[in-house]
Chain A
C-alpha cells in the first residue's frame, strides 16, 4: 500500500528537498502541526502576557471580575514598585493638589491615588544588588570555566575523568540540601548578607556547568589551529587569546547566558543568606506580598523589570545560543 497517492504537488519542486516533505498530504500535516504549535505557544505565553498587562493596570482594574483585556494603561505599578510613599490625609491632599502645577509626572501620579512620594523603595537597591552579584559571578564563572575547560581539553591531566566527574557532582544534589550547612558556614565566615558571599556562591554553582559546556566547545576546535600559531611564531598563551578565544565566542556566549539566568533567578540561597545589604531582587519581589497588602501591579511590574535584562541579553546572544545548544550535534 502506497503511503501517498500517485499525484504529486501541483507545482514543480524547485528546491532541494525530500519527497515526503513536499507531497500535498505532507503539507497538510505540516499546517496542522504549525497550528498546534502556535496554540501551545500562545498558552505558554499567557502568564507572561497577564504579567505584562497587570503591570500596567490600575489597582481597580486588577481586581475587577472578569479580568479586563482592554484597559487604560497606567504606571501605578511602577510607582508602587520604585518608590516609598505615605498616604496623605484629606486636608493635606487638598493643599498638595493646589500647587500640583510644578510637580513631576511621578509625584502627580502618586497624588492621583492620594499618596506622596518620600523616596525610592528598597527594590531599586535590590535590583542593583542583583546586577552586581549576578554580573560578577557570571563573569567569574565563565572566565575561570574557560581556563579550566581549556586545560581539561588540551592537556594530559592525571585523573582527568575523575576530576570532571567530581566537578559535575556538585550539581547532583538539590541546592536546598546545602542551604543549612552553607548558612552556618557563612555565619562563621561573616559572609552572610555580603556581596562576596553571594558572588562566590553563585560562581561555584555555575562553574561546574561552565567547565562542562565550554569543554565541549573547546574540544571541537581542532588543535591544528594552535599548532599552526605555534610554528607561526606565537607562544601558547598568545595562540589561546588570538586563535582559540575568537573561535570559542559561540560557546562563551551560550555559557554566559545560562550562567546569568541561573544567578539572576536564584531564589532559595538569596532568601536564606541575605537580608538587607546584599539582598537580590527575587526574594524581595516575593516579600512584597507581605508588606502593605497585595500590590499586584507592583509585583507584576517588579517581575517585568526583573525579566527585561535577561531577556535583552538572551535576545542579543540568541544566534550564538541556538548554535550553542545544537553545537556538536552534527559533525561538519
Chain B
C-alpha cells in the first residue's frame, strides 16, 4: 500500500478551472473521502490520480514516485466506477480475472486469487453469472473484487454506491469500510453524500467550486467547519446560520428581538477578526439548541417534522432565515407558536460574513 501526494495539481478545461491548484497528502492505509456538490472537481481530481485525466499543472506522487505522466496501466492503482463498468460480455469470474491476465499471471495463480477475493466478498456462487444477471449490489461486489484482486497500491472509488438503493447502500457502506480496515488499503473515495463521507472517511476533503474548502476528520468538519460552505454542506439539516451584528459581547440577530451573549472565550477573537465591522454570522448545529421555556432566544414555528428517533422543528427567526432544532420532544408544535430556546455555549460558532471564514476562539490570558 502507498501514500499519495498531490502537489499543486490543477486542471483547466480551456480557461475554466475544473480543479484549482491543490495540495493533498494521503497517508498509507488512509481512507480519504473527497466530498462536494456535483461539479466541484472531486471526480476530476480522482481521475487525475488515476491518469484517466491529464493534469494541467502540478505533480502526482505515488509512494514517492512521480507518476504524473505515467499511463494509467502503469500506475498500479484500481478504479471503481459509479456504474461499475463491468465488462458485459464476460462472466463475473472473467471480469475479476481480467486485471490479473494483463499482468501475465499463470492460470493457476489467477484461479487461486479470484477464488480468494470471491470468498472475501462472498460472491463465490455468482462467479459464472454475467453482469446483467446480477443485482446492483452484487455487481458492485464484483467490481470491488476486480479492484481488490490485483492488490494494487491504492484504490480510487468514484461514487461506487451512487447507483444503489438506499438500504443496499448502507449495507455496502459498512462492507467497504470493513474491507478497507482488513486490507489496510489506501483509498480515495468520491461522494456527494455527506452522510456517507462521515461514516466512511478517516479524513474528509470538502470541495466546492474547484477548490478545497477544508481537510479534516469527520469530527472536525462537522463541529468546526472552516467556512460557511462547509457549515451548510455538512449535516442534515446543515448548521443553522443567522446574520447578526456584534458589539460588546452581544450578537443582535436580525428579525425577532434576539440577543445572544457571546461566551467569554470568543469575545476577543470576534473583536480582532471583525475589526470595526459589526456584521457577522452566528452558527450552531440543530442538536446543540435546547428548547427551554426560559430560553433567551425565540423563534416562531414554521413546521415540525417527525424523524423517528427525534423530531426537527423549523423556526422562523426573521423574514429570511429558517432554523432547525432537533428535539426529542415528539409532541407536534402548533404553527406560529413562539418557542424559546438556548444554544449550548460550547457548540456555538461564528463566521466572518464577508469572507465566510470561521472565526477562531482566542484564549484570553
Contact = CB atoms under 8 A, between A and B. Distances in A.
17 contacts: A227-B52, A227-B79, A228-B79, A228-B81, A230-B51, A230-B72, A231-B50, A231-B73, A231-B75, A231-B77, A232-B102, A233-B103, A233-B150, A235-B73, A238-B102, A246-B89, A247-B89
B87 interface: yes
Contact of A225 (B73, B87, B102): B87
A75 interface: no
Contact of B98 (A227, A229, A235): A229
Contacts of B72: 227, 230-231
B146 interface: yes
Given A231-B72, A246-B89, 7 more contacts: A227-B81, A227-B85, A228-B79, A231-B73, A232-B73, A233-B103, A247-B88
A234 interface: yes
A16 interface: no
B61 interface: no
B50 A222 contact: no
B146 to A, nearest CB: 7
Contacts of A243: 87
A224 interface: yes
Nearest to B89: A246
Contact of B79 (A222, A231, A238, A247): A231
Interface in B67-83: 71-73, 75, 77-79, 81, 83
A246 B94 CA distance: 14
Given A225-B87, A247-B89, A233 B99 contact: yes
A243 B86 CA distance: 10
Contacts of A247: 87-89
Interface of B: 50-52, 71-73, 75, 77-79, 81, 83, 85, 87-89, 98-99, 102-103, 146, 150
Given A243-B87, A246-B89, A247-B88, A232 B81 contact: no
Nearest to B143: A228
B102 A234 contact: yes
Interface in A229-258: 229-235, 238, 243, 246-247
Contacts, number: 54
A230 B52 contact: yes
Nearest 10 A/B pairs, CB to CB: A233-B102, A232-B99, A224-B85, A228-B85, A230-B72, A246-B89, A231-B79, A233-B73, A231-B72, A224-B81
Interface string A197-241: 000000000000000000000000010110111111111001000
Nearest to A221: B88
B84 to A, nearest CB: 8
- For the complex, would chain B's binding face be called helix, strand, loop or mixed by DSSP majority? loop
A19 to B, nearest CB: 30
B85 A234 contact: no
A222 B83 contact: yes
Nearest to A245: B89
A21 B102 CA distance: 52
B99 A225 contact: no
B85 A225 contact: yes
Contacts of A225: 85, 87
B5 to A, nearest CB: 19
B215 to A, nearest CB: 25
Contacts of A228: 79, 81, 85, 87
Nearest to A238: B102
A234 B89 contact: no
A98 B99 CA distance: 76
A247 B85 CA distance: 13
Contacts of B78: 231-232
Contacts of A246: 89
A222 B50 CA distance: 18
Nearest to A224: B85
Contact of A224 (B71, B73, B83, B146): B83
A224 to B, nearest CB: 4
Contacts of B77: 231
Contacts of B150: 232-233
A232 B71 CA distance: 11
A233 B105 CA distance: 12
A145 B354 CA distance: 59
Contacts of A233: 73, 99, 102-103, 150
B123 to A, nearest CB: 18
